[in-house]
Structure 1
Amino acid sequence: MFSKSKINEPGPSAGDSKTPSTDAAKPGTPSSAPATEFKPSAPKAKPPASILSTDLHIKGNLKTSGDINIEGQVDGDIRAHLLTIGEGATVKGECIADDVVVNGRIIGTVRGLKVRLTSSARVEGDIIHKTIAIESGAHFEGSVQRQDDPLNKTDSKVTAKATDKA
């Protein structure tokens, strides 16, 4: 059954969970699939954020369901799950994300469920948010509007005027 040469060879030991066990013969478990092929369904690991480096200048829109860390310059709209604008970064366009953290400069509208302007932030444009935090030292020129659904672009003022005329 076992030989001395197999005992010294690398591989699964007698107590290793990779060897087929007698549990496979129990009712309700598939007996044809070896125990080594069982993989529990676990949530996929979250991919790391995409980083746009300081020497990168993009002209165009960016859209992802993941996270973006901007360190360079973007001339266009950005849509992401988590959007982080680095200290030396400049964005000229609309920024839409669930979470927006601004350390650098944005010229345009910011829409986010959570918007945070750090002390080094420079924002020239409107901020539409569900929650907002502005640190001391942040520079902001524009209007701030709270909405329950800031990611939806329908303007409540335009909708209210349209219903009044009807």
Structure 2
Amino acid sequence: MFSKSRVSETPAQPKPATPESDPARAEIPAVDATAAPVAAPRQRTAPSVLSADLTIKGDLQTAGDVQIEGNIDGDIRARQLTIGETATVRGEVLADEVIVNGRVVGRLRGLKVRLSSTARVEGDIIHKTIAIESGAHFEGSVQRQDDPLSQGGTKKLAPPATDFSKAGE
């Protein structure tokens, strides 16, 4: 049934294919080893998730994506930030894309900002584009900027002008 090959016997090695013996191989161009390597596109990884039972006191910074379900007392900087319905963030938020489903007490800065119907935001929003769903709660000012992530100071909105010259009339 089964046979055991002798140690001295070596199995036949297949011949490497050459362009003459394999026509499909003739179409493959040679690779120049001196050429600069092409940068691979950045693979998207799963976001880091901070669970609902987690409380962090301090700043968070990442070049990736973050989903927060717990409580953060500090500033956050990320590429994409999702604040879950159970989350509370107290501090400044800076991200290319911010999705708020929970509560934020502090300033939001983002290229794209979306407040869902369950969002509760107390603070100013500086954005390039914004979407606010019906039912979202927002207290603060909204300001559009072409580059909301720049660290330059933002102008405070001026209070309404009051004409005191007519007050005594």
* TM-score scaled by length of structure 2: 0.71
Gaps of 5+ in 1: 6-13, 31-39, 159-166
The letter of the residue matching 1:69 is Q
Counterpart position of 1:124? 122
Report deviation, 1:135.
0.4
Cross-structure match for 1:139: 137
**Using the alignment, how far apart are the partners of 2:82 and 2:63 within structure 1?**
14
Aligned CA distance change for structure 1 residues 42 and 71 (closer, same or farther; 3 Å): same
Percent of aligned positions with the same letter in both sequences?
Answer: 64
Q: How far apart, in 2, do the equivalents of 1:156 and 1:52 lie?
A: 30
Structure 2 residue ranges without an equivalent (≥5): 6-13, 20-24, 32-37, 157-169
Shift of 1:153: 2.1
Query: Per-residue deviation at 1:44?
Result: 4.3
Give the deviation of 1:72 after TM superposition.
Answer: 0.3
In structure 2, what is the Cα distance between the partners aligned to 1:20 and 1:46? 38
Cα separation, 1, equivalents of 2:47 and 2:87: 16
Q: Deviations over 1:79-107 (max 9, x none)?
A: 00000000010000000000000000000
Aligned partner of 2:102 in structure 1 is 104
**How far 1:65 moved relative to its partner?**
0.5
Give the structure 1 partner of residue 84 of structure 2.
86
Rg (Cα) greater in structure? 2
Root-mean-square deviation (Å): 2.9
Moved over 3 A (4+): 23-26
Q: TM-score, normalised by structure 1?
A: 0.72
Count how many residue pairs are aligned between Structure 1 and Structure 2. 134
Q: Is 1:58 equivalent to 2:59 in the alignment?
A: no
Q: Secondary structure at the match of 2:155?
A: helix
